[in-house]
């Protein structure tokens, strides 16, 4: 029996909710807040699991940057790289190879951006094309993904950044053969959102 089931069976599971405004869908949403007891024991479980997990850090789905000897900006709270939101095993494996390469030449912050972009692409595949495999990635799929991004409520600059990160990832996968994707270009300059120009300001004479 899980801890959650035990607490629920004995009426000890605290069920609290919090409302927030979802900018993406422009609606008020209600989320459940985890029971403090569950949070506490989950943290203990993670500590114990990490202590006895003797796998190489690169084999795990969450990388502790200090264990990899990666310098992290002290002002940032995140000291891990999390691959658990990547739904497809083949995409997760390729992402790990890509991020391992990126960490050797770029900052951890840039790797976080790359993982975020791949997370979004993975979510799109899982929702619209759950049976899709790496060899099925083509220009048509990329266009379908890019055209739905403006409807997510993201700022055009954020969309451009995400598309750019995905472009670099796919190109490197083709070069290094981490995925059986086409070695021809899948994302073009025309695919990026056009920068918005503000109206000119006139100074009265």
pLDDT category, 166, cuts 50, 70, 90? very high
Give residue 97's pLDDT band: very low, low, confident or very high (50, 70, 90).
very high
- Per domain, the residue ranges of the chain are 1-46, 56-191
Question: pTM surpassing 0.75?
Answer: no
Q: Cα separations (Å) of 129 from 74, 123, 141, 190? A: 39, 10, 9, 25
Mean pLDDT, rounded, for 162-183: 95
pLDDT of residue 55: 74
- Angle of helix 108-128 relative to helix 156-176, nearest 10 degrees? 90
């Amino acid at each position: 029996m899980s801890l959650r089931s035990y607490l629920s069976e004995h009426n000890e599971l605290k069920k609290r909710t919090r409302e927030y405004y979802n900018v993406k869908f422009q609606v008020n949403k209600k989320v459940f807040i985890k029971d403090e007891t569950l949070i506490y024991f989950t943290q203990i479980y993670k500590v114990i699991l990490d202590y006895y997990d003797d796998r190489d850090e690169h084999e795990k789905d969450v990388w502790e940057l200090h264990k990899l000897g990666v310098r992290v900006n002290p002002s940032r709270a995140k000291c891990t790289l999390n691959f658990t939101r990547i739904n497809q095993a083949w995409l997760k494996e390729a992402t790990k190879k890509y991020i391992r390469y990126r960490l050797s030449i770029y900052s951890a912050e840039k790797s976080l951006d790359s993982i975020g972009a791949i997370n979004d692409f993975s979510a799109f595949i899982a929702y619209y094309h759950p049976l899709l495999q790496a060899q099925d990635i083509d220009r048509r799929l990329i266009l379908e993904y890019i055209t739905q991004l403006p409807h997510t409520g993201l700022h055009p600059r954020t969309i451009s950044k995400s598309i750019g990160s995905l472009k670099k990832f796919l190109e490197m996968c083709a070069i290094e053969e981490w995925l059986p994707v086409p070695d021809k270009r899948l994302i073009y300059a025309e695919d990026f959102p056009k920068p918005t120009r503000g109206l000119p300001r006139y100074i009265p004479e």
